[in-house]
Structure 1
Amino acid sequence: MKPTLPAQILQALAPWRNAPAWHVAFSGGLDSTVLLHLLATLANTDHLPPLSAIHVHHGLQAAADAWPVHCQSVCDSLGVALRVMRVQVQPGASLERAARDARYQAFTEVTGAGQVLLTGQHRDDQAETLLFRLLRGAGVRGLAAMPVQRPLAGGYLVRPLLHVSREELEAYAHVHQLRWIEDPSNADPRFSRNYLRHRVLPVFAQRWPQAVASLARTAEHLSEAQGLLDELAHMDLHAADQPSPFAWLPIPSLALAPLCELSDARQRNALRHWLTPLTRLPDSDHWASWLSLRDAKDDAQPVWCLADGELHRCRGRLWWLPAVWSEFSDASVSWPDPQYPLELPGNGRLSATGNAPAGPLVVRYRQGGEIVEVPGRGRRDLKRLLNESGLPGFVRGRLPLLYQGEQLLGVPSLAGLWPATRERWQLHWVPQTCDQGLS
């Protein structure tokens, strides 16, 4: 016998019973109304985390202005605190996506460390999501549809109703005489999801009554398959996560050789996993650029341009450069007092140790032809020194050089590649971290 709806909810939320707080994303619609009522009722008999509701007001239609009042009335009747958050939806090609982005940004702001944001998506929503992404040509990760839980800010987003049908939610709402909002935009077939919900899935259900349940079950199978692909990616990336010869360079990198030993499909799987936190991934047609980068000649330094940065290949390694790396200014920067670190615009920090020359000094960047004094080796061509070091080309143009007038006084020690000067002082450069370029 199938468990009651309250029992299903308690089972689904068992891993988060000790969370500091539960927040319900409360639109006022059927799904979130049932979810909030279930949790508020269970809180009377079970020990649950503190419960509150969050209503996000997008301001996209006049009817929505009355919804916060309705939500407040429902929350008052249940004894649940409500927070109304008004957001600005950025104009763009997809109003649905823009509204979703604004909504989840609000959810991120309210979800503290270890806290849980609960949303009301149900089994029918899952089936729609799978069908929608299938028609867009999504891969396994996309077809896995909505996960039951995922990280959000310092806590989690959890969907405890994903195994519950809309029919069950409506039955619960009618038994408990709940009132909810019917969003007029949900009936507009111009929106792709509404078209699937009102025009496509009903036709499927006439021919295959279990269509929605079957689609949702398929999403579960694909989620399990994606989990296995993730495990495989972890194994392959572990082999490629070899120490960089430039440990001081704070950007993600991988050894290329272990990846080249894999099949093309495993290479793409590992790279998708590695790149996912760093950039929006390319579609299938653009993966040909990976093959061009991988197979370029050894002395080449190919670049694969992606949505949020670039993937470089240099000296047998892959290096990820976020878009912010291209934003630094190579203009000269004055350094009045080397006793204090110097912030370089878009290029990290420069500091000096030992008896550094007195100011005023100037930091410049390479123009070509620079000569530097190297203790024990005399005057050396900087380009030759950099070639000997194997320093990646994308770093060389950012290397800060210290001048006094027109005299080149010093180059950063680069983690010991150059010894201290005769005067026993050194420059130390900490480049801009990759994290500074990520949202």
Structure 2
Amino acid sequence: MPFRRIRDLIEAALAELPQTPLLAAFSGGLDSAVLLHALAQSESVRARGLRAVHVDHGLHEESELWARKCRDFTNAIGVELIVRAVDVVRGPGLGLEASARRARYAAIETLMAPGEIVALAHHRDDQAETVLLKLLRGAGPEGIGAMRPLRRLGRGFAWRPLLLLPRAALREYAEYHQLGWIADPSNADQTIDRNYLRMQVMPRISARWPEAESSIAQSAAWARAAAEFIDAEADRALARIQGLDPSTLHFREWLALPTALRDPVLRRWLRALELPEPTHFQAAELVRQLGEAGEDRQPCVRWPGTEVRRYRDLLHALAPLQFPPLDWVAPFDGQPLSLPLDVGALHLQGADGSVRLPAPLQVRFRRGGESLRLSSGGRTRELRDLFQEAGIPPWKRGRMPLLFDANDRLVAVADVWLSEAGAELLAPLDARIVWTTADKGARPGGGHLAIDLADVLS
């Protein structure tokens, strides 16, 4: 009987889960109605704590009526229902369906208690459709692995106990228990890819290959196992080739990785930095440019929100940079000075707080040809040479504030280098220059850009 089949499947899956409450995602459609009803019949589920959430996307004129019907359903089976209305905003490159899904999951995550498990009603037919959609989009093992039975979601987990069951088994259950459910007319819209697959493609495949859905689901399980193995190897590879600065990778070691690891390592690295990931074409272009560029070149591949640049032996990942205008100039008397764009701020820090200079300095950015005599002595050095010897990447050089005196002598490069004249100016004040940037905070004495003068002068 369909009741026993679904009940037994849920009870067996529950035994593998942490002893935490369940939150059932309830659209009111057939699938979620079956899942919620079956959960509500389980004494072990009731003992854990069970509630349901219905997300009203506001995309259909009867959405408020659907919410009332969902409440009637949950009242009848004695389950608390939370209704959340959301505004569906179309994200860049996302269709309405994907944007609604993003809004739905975001709403559900806000309701989750720590460790709580969200029960979702996806079944074997959904899994087969997902695999085909991923294949048509050129996905690798991670995508073809499709939906996991259990995965992290927000502060808890997303759980899909029905993935092994076909849609027909859920319909049998609903008809046996005379459940009422909502028929969303959008499910018949064949302009939506998933609906087209469900209504036009899968029936033809199943007519020729009756076990197709089961076989596709099995392939997804194999792909998932392969993806999890690749994930573990990618974690180890990233730890091996990442630079001391987390935003860097040793590019030769990255290129030398097996093809199956190179892409997942790149994406793991970028996700950890909260940077957008590339398309497969952009990732391939990065590989091509790194392989072809000579040692004296500095290849850069960009996509929206991200730049990946090579300098010497390292790849650097960063958000797209803006550079201050060459004609930007401002006086600096030691009090906090905001620099243009996102370049940060300057101030003088004394032993007892902020300090004022007897005469203001002029702050501007690199124009080329600058030089200074370092405070440690020695000959006058070209700023270009100091940058190169210190290994400061070219894209950082034009964003470092330069301080000049009334005679247009360079006295300081941010808080990294100080000239003899600069040292003489600051010594009586017992003060130092501090350059604060949005991404690194205050870096007294140079922070992550501090340079060992012995290294520069050697």
Interval of TM-score (by shorter of Structure 1 and Structure 2): 0.7 to 0.9
**In the aligned structure 1, how far is the partner of 2:60 from the partner of 2:112?**
27
Q: Which residue of 2 aligns with 1:283?
A: 280
The answer on 1:308 being equivalent to 2:293 is no
**In the aligned structure 1, how far is the partner of 2:230 from the partner of 2:119?**
27
The answer on 1:47 being equivalent to 2:85 is no
The answer on 1:262 being equivalent to 2:263 is no
Opposite residue 25 of structure 2, the aligned amino acid is A
The answer on 1:271 being equivalent to 2:278 is no
Residue 238 of structure 1 deviates from its aligned partner by 2.5
Q: Which residue of 1 aligns with 2:413?
A: 411
Please identify the structure whose Cα radius of gyration is greater: 2
Q: Which residue of 1 aligns with 2:356?
A: 358
Q: Which residue of 2 aligns with 1:32?
A: 32
CA contact (8 A) 1:143 1:222 kept: yes
Opposite residue 143 of structure 2, the aligned amino acid is G
SS in 1 for 2:317: strand
SS in 1 for 2:310: strand
Report which stretch shifted further, 273-282 or 69-78. 273-282
Opposite residue 220 of structure 1, the aligned amino acid is A
**In the aligned structure 1, how far is the partner of 2:84 from the partner of 2:309?**
45
**In the aligned structure 2, how far is the partner of 1:201 from the partner of 1:79?**
35
SS in 1 for 2:163: coil
* Deviation by residue 1:381-414 (Cα, 9 ceiling, x = unmatched): 3322212101111211222334567665433445
**In the aligned structure 2, how far is the partner of 1:328 from the partner of 1:83?**
49
Residue 291 of structure 1 deviates from its aligned partner by 1.8
Opposite residue 130 of structure 1, the aligned amino acid is V
Residue 31 of structure 1 deviates from its aligned partner by 1.5
**In the aligned structure 2, how far is the partner of 1:27 from the partner of 1:335?**
61
Opposite residue 390 of structure 1, the aligned amino acid is G
Q: Which residue of 2 aligns with 1:115?
A: 116
CA contact (8 A) 1:54 1:84 kept: yes
Q: Which residue of 1 aligns with 2:68?
A: 69
Q: Which residue of 1 aligns with 2:196?
A: 195
**In the aligned structure 2, how far is the partner of 1:151 from the partner of 1:28?**
24
CA contact (8 A) 2:361 2:404 kept: yes
CA RMSD, aligned part only?
Answer: 3.5
Residue 224 of structure 1 deviates from its aligned partner by 0.7
Report which stretch shifted further, 181-190 or 30-39. 30-39
**In the aligned structure 2, how far is the partner of 1:327 from the partner of 1:154?**
39
SS in 2 for 1:47: helix
Residue 194 of structure 1 deviates from its aligned partner by 0.9
**In the aligned structure 2, how far is the partner of 1:337 from the partner of 1:18?**
59
Q: Which residue of 1 aligns with 2:395?
A: 394
CA contact (8 A) 2:25 2:52 kept: yes
Q: Structure 1: state its 5+ residue gaps.
A: 245-250, 435-439
Residue 213 of structure 1 deviates from its aligned partner by 1.2
**In the aligned structure 2, how far is the partner of 1:418 from the partner of 1:135?**
61
SS in 2 for 1:145: coil
Q: Which residue of 2 aligns with 1:157?
A: 158
**In the aligned structure 2, how far is the partner of 1:60 from the partner of 1:123?**
27
Q: Structure 2 length as normaliser, TM-score?
A: 0.80
Q: Structure 1 length as normaliser, TM-score?
A: 0.83
Q: Which residue of 2 aligns with 1:240?
A: 241
Opposite residue 300 of structure 2, the aligned amino acid is V
Q: Structure 2: state its 5+ residue gaps.
A: 441-458
The alpha-carbon distance between structure 1 residues 358 and 148, as it changes in their structure 2 partners (threshold 3 A), is same
**In the aligned structure 1, how far is the partner of 2:171 from the partner of 2:330?**
66
Q: Which residue of 1 aligns with 2:56?
A: 57
Report which stretch shifted further, 351-360 or 35-44. 351-360
The alpha-carbon distance between structure 1 residues 236 and 79, as it changes in their structure 2 partners (threshold 3 A), is closer
CA contact (8 A) 2:363 2:403 kept: yes
Q: Which residue of 2 aligns with 1:318?
A: 315
**In the aligned structure 1, how far is the partner of 2:332 from the partner of 2:112?**
43
The alpha-carbon distance between structure 1 residues 180 and 68, as it changes in their structure 2 partners (threshold 3 A), is same
Q: Which residue of 2 aligns with 1:293?
A: 290
Q: Structure with the greater relative contact order (CA < 8 A, sep ≥ 6): 1 or 2?
A: 1
Q: Which residue of 1 aligns with 2:180?
A: 179
